[in-house]
Structure 1
């Protein structure tokens, strides 16, 4: 195994506080992911109603600012299911989309993307798939197209159907109704998630969640070996929680480690100002979701160029990805690019007006979009126009005679009809837009294509 330097704080991983910081970075994706699963099941997301295990919850509209989910997209309509496999395999029926773009992304509770179904991965025809729990050794029914092996007993299926506009919703709604999950047998499945002891002090709640959920959803073997380091923190203790009336020295170390771990994840989620990039350059990392090294199934690309070689470095990448873009796709499915600054290197802010000029359309096989998010939450931005993104499928865009497209980014609606047609509303304060490139071409993946910077409007 590689050196700890990529994960350890300056104080060293051998101190309890340093070890606690490492544990935060390692465990943040699990805690955040399971928390989002619980939120989905009990509160829903935006127009997705609360939905129990082994059922799909469907968006009834494109995402709006009431969907409090980091970097939620406004290009596709979500169909999301939390799947429990503790009672055995589940059958998934997928309808024929008649060539229209869709993707079903399979994510374990450690936030690893481990399988894909959809236009890129498996085509758009109808089919039945079998989702099986870890270690399953049964026989699949004859009618299934394939077996999807889940790394954890609870997983998320994040479905996205391309939706061109509100008028396109009836087509999408009809597809949603034919997307179903059916347990293979009548064995009882769980109805909830393991709950942390409410007596644990709030400042230690993260570590109690991590302890509990690590035990219930063990990771791959090499990760289990790594987390053995966390024994001194009480994270591997079974049974009653060790965090009620814990030793003051441990409480101090965990508290310090929590703050240090958060700072490390936040720093990894935001590029440094002096990283050598051109001012205003978009940060597009096609390899942000390459941290899954152990379970790469149907629809994934199991190749060295799509894996982070240093396992411990992958933990920090995984945490940053969960923090800024939970449940995002591998780069070969979609590339996400964001920026915080304009071409002068200044923070983007709604007190100014900007333009984003595409001399030619971004090179994609499917479609592209640019979406507005606030900071620091990365939520969609409410605005009177009800426009949260625009892209090549947006009706009424005003292209120049040479085929270029100039997007106008500002808080107030432009007076010019042409600019108003290309207007992406901004919030009053700081913001971070994101460009999504669906099924990107090779020039995007290898970096030879560069997105244009956002420029202060003259």
Structure 2
């Protein structure tokens, strides 16, 4: 591998989270996501139902109703107003252009009383209005990902009332919003060549500077043309083009490997991604935890973690808000496949202060799986589950509906091929985070 190719591979791992993230930001402003209609910057789009298989977003949840706002503070600050929820779980997660979770508003972070929050751009030094809490954004473009707990169809109206009471409005005299930087249309790329990826990375790095501690590292990519003011990829030197395309492919393989065989510990085959979003070591606003246990100081390790987290769970929460565990394999280490049937037995329910669920996803896209039962997750709020006399709960994972009615009540449909379930534990208790609560294995039965 040439030095340029190796550098391009590193640049892919470094830049993938921002490129992918801002592609999704662009998508939500122009096309939306089925349940979440498109909305312009600085406007909430509220889903009116739980996500389903038509909501093609990586590892989208089926537990909460989403409200999404793509934020552009280049025009000036915004005032966010949230309603009281009467104890209902909700979380508003603030994610910058580099996918840092830099603030939280919600039941765990700020309680469930009404509140006002002033969202300010980098370098802002104005006066915060009385009764409001400032949230300083690391980048002018960011996302607010809101999740409202919903107990099913009968609960939708109550969620809608909360969504309607949520507001974003300009603070002061707004200027002209800049939006996302535009890549040079002169960059011609083959389907999997990668030149457009590096062009997007070039313009976005310039528009959204990283944390100061990453500036020097970003400078190492100068030989790739990523720091140039004018695109070098419209008529690239053949050697550079070859290195970029090869580095793109190699970097992509690294991210896939880190996603499935990364640094997260395992328990009975589950990857415990409780600390998968700890890569932010620089920006801590309201609702974040600054305990060193939740911060990865090794920046090289954090860059790989960031890429894997974006690939498998973009816009996922820190583990102290929602703990995630996922698996690709059964108890014997064999890949999970819808050609077989499995059981997942919880002797004791996951210890949480909010709620928990197991959600089914396909591979390789990590999307919800269409099925005749119209069931995409099972958890402590699922009606009709059958527990054993000792209180244990055994879930059945299979592509076909079980003939036994008890098993059918506890059935989580799988796709016919490979799949990956995710266990979510909202507001996890210490037993989850410390590992004293052990996750049960998925056992193949036929």
TM > 0.5 = yes
**Which deviations, in whole Å up to 9, do the C-alpha atoms of 1:22-48 show, x marking residues without a partner?**
111111011011000001111101211
CA distance in structure 1 between the aligned counterparts of 2:335 and 2:78, rounded to whole angstroms: 47
Residues in 2 aligned to 1:87 and 1:61: alpha-carbon distance in whole angstroms: 32
Across the aligned residues of Structure 1 and Structure 2, the Cα RMSD in angstroms comes to 1.5
TM-score by length of 1: 0.94
How many residue pairs match? The answer is: 442
Partner of residue 177 from structure 1, selected from 164, 172, 175: 164
Contact 2:264 2:276 in 1 (8 A): no
2:266, 2:166 → 1: CA distance? 44
Q: Give the structure 1 partner of residue 71 of structure 2.
A: 83
The equivalent residue for 1:7 is none
Deviations 1:92-138 (A, max 9, x none): 00011000000000000100000000000000000111000001111
Retained in 1: the 8 A contact 2:264–2:273? no
CA contact (8 A) 2:371 2:413 kept: yes
The answer for the alignment partner of 1:268 in structure 2 is: 258
Structure 2 residue matching 1:418: 3-state secondary structure: helix
Consecutive unaligned residues of structure 2, counting only runs of 5 or more, are none
Deviation at 1:275, TM superposition (A): 10
Cα offsets for 1:285-307 (capped at 9, x unmatched): 21110111111110001121111
Structure-2-length-normalised TM-score: 0.97
1:367-446 alignment, distance < 5 Å: 367-446=355-434
| Aligned match of 1:284 | 272
Deviation digits for residues 134-157 of structure 1, max 9, x if unmatched? Answer: 01111101131x100000001100
Q: How does 1:43-442 map onto structure 2 within 5 Å?
A: 43-144=31-132, 146-190=133-177, 192-202=179-189, 203=193, 204-238=195-229, 240-271=230-261, 281-442=269-430
Please give the alpha-carbon distance, in whole angstroms, between the structure 1 residues aligned to 2:16 and 2:116.
Answer: 34
- 1:277 deviates by 5.5
State the secondary structure of the residue aligned to 1:355: strand
Structure 1 CA distance, aligned partners of 2:314 and 2:67? 16
**Conservation of the 8 A alpha-carbon contact between 1:84 and 1:189:** no
Contact 2:128 2:134 in 1 (8 A): yes
Q: Which residue in the other structure is 2:10 paired with?
A: 22
User: Residue deviations 1:184-221, cap 9 Å, x none?
Assistant: 02323426421211220222000000000000011111
Deviations 1:341-393, CA, capped at 9 Å, x for gaps: 11111111111111100001111111100000000000000001110001000
